Amino acid sequence: MPRVNGPRVLRVDVLRPTPGALDEGAAALRSGQLVAFPTETVYGLGANACSAPAVERIFAVKQRPADNPLIVHVHSLEAAAEVTARITPLARELAGRWWPGPLTLVLEADPGLPDVTTGGLSTVAVRMPGHPLALALLRAAELPVAAPSANRSGRPSPTTAQHVVAELGTGVDLILDGGPCSVGVESTVVDARGERPIVLREGAVSREHLGLGTDDAQEGDVRASPGTRYRHYAPACAVELVAAGDGVARASRLAQQGRRVGLIGFTAAHPPTRTVAVVRDAADLAQRLYGALRDAEAAGLEMVVVEAVEEVGIGRAVMDRLRRAAAG
């Protein structure tokens, strides 16, 4: 089929995925193509994790630094065992509790995995996503699928198929459109090689969920995952993070100074400040954050003021992303 105006997008019923769409996605992955698909967190840009040329295309399309490794998506713990050297007792326990779901486990890699997939590290990140369409695709492809978020490097992750089209255009061969993602921020990345989990990236599964104290300073705070070194999650407009309750006043002051400003917060803004999103709580902000940042960008705003959430549960991941977006 000719692709004059953009990538091929297949709308799929998430609860009853049509076999045709799954077969097409699986065949594309097996032939080395790039397939974007929804997960419960964000949309991923998938390729056969065992094919170096296919994975190289991911890096090219995303303009991703070569030393930032990818997460390998699997449909079962058995499939995870095939890309890792050893499933530790801790990994088995965490997978038992959280898979399928938004938890990524870093383990010793199977030596057969291409270097491009692991960024040349001896470890590999694996996750079994908790999204019916992603799982059905992984089962149909019968392949481990390397999939970073389907955005250009440094940009907010996509949470709808339309975001993927806007980010990558014809750089992606096929997009499976399963509607908006439910969680909205990326998975928690945990080093599961030792006896205790070490959080490398905050995500939907919080430290509290993992049974780690909230102010329990961890090795992971300094030894973050490679990706956290880079500029991240930044839209084209500036992001300013303010305390909850301060957003309306701060945005109004900026508007008086002649700035084209928007607000993402718990209450609506006063015109001329644009209300970009009114959110209920941290989980609601997580789900809508990246889309709201894109809306702010599309509205041509110079900056967007975002009200902080409490740093508990998913609020930690949201604040982590917001700080990085604000630093962008």
> Least distance in Å: CB of 174 to ligand TXA?
16
Residue ranges that bind ligand TXA, judged by CB under 6 A: 39, 41-42, 44, 68-71, 102, 104, 106, 118, 121, 123-125, 127, 129, 147-149, 186-187, 189, 200-201, 225-228
Mark 35-73 as b/e (b = at least 16 C-beta within 10 Å). bbbbbbbbbbbbbbbbbbebbebbbebbebeeebbbbbb
Q: Which is nearer to ligand TXA, 102 or 291 (CB)?
A: 102
39 contact, one of Mg ion, ligand TXA, none, CB 5-8 Å limit per kind: ligand TXA
173 contact, one of ligand TXA, Mg ion, none, CB 5-8 Å limit per kind: none
Tell me how far CA of residue 210 lies from CA of 107, 127, 134, 186, in angstroms. Answer: 17, 16, 24, 16
Sole residue written with tokens 């006043």: 249
> Least distance in Å: CB of 151 to Mg ion?
6
> Least distance in Å: CB of 149 to Mg ion?
3
47 contact, one of Mg ion, ligand TXA, none, CB 5-8 Å limit per kind: none
Interface region with Mg ion, contact rule CB under 5 A, candidates 89-97, 111-119, 143-151, 288-296? 143-151
User: How far, in Å, CA of 315 to CA of 268, rounded?
Assistant: 21
Torsional class of 20: left (φ above 0), alpha (ψ -120 to 50), beta (otherwise):
alpha
Question: 60 phi and psi, to 5 degrees?
Answer: -65, -45
Q: Which is nearer to ligand TXA, 139 or 270 (CB)?
A: 139
Question: 102 phi and psi, to 5 degrees?
Answer: -85, 50
Give the count of residues interacting with Mg ion (CB under 5 A): 1
> Least distance in Å: CB of 197 to ligand TXA?
13
50 contact, one of Mg ion, ligand TXA, none, CB 5-8 Å limit per kind: none
Residue nearest to Mg ion (CB): 149
Give the 3-state secondary structure of 112-134: CCCHHHHCCCCEEEEECCCCHHH
User: How far, in Å, CA of 230 to CA of 65, rounded?
Assistant: 9
Q: Which is nearer to ligand TXA, 129 or 265 (CB)?
A: 129
Q: Which is nearer to ligand TXA, 51 or 118 (CB)?
A: 118
71 contact, one of ligand TXA, Mg ion, none, CB 5-8 Å limit per kind: ligand TXA
> Least distance in Å: CB of 306 to ligand TXA?
20
User: How far, in Å, CA of 320 to CA of 262, rounded?
Assistant: 21
147 contact, one of ligand TXA, Mg ion, none, CB 5-8 Å limit per kind: ligand TXA
Instruction: Report CA Rg, the chain.
Output: 20
252 contact, one of Mg ion, ligand TXA, none, CB 5-8 Å limit per kind: none
Structure-token pair, residue 166: 């806007």
Q: Which is nearer to ligand TXA, 156 or 315 (CB)?
A: 156
> Least distance in Å: CB of 89 to ligand TXA?
19
94 contact, one of ligand TXA, Mg ion, none, CB 5-8 Å limit per kind: none
Interface region with Mg ion, contact rule CB under 5 A, candidates 32-40, 64-72, 147-155, 309-317? 147-155
Contact 116, 56 (CB under 8 A): yes
Q: Is 149 in the site for Mg ion (CB under 5 A)?
A: yes
List interacting residues with Mg ion (CB under 5 A).
149
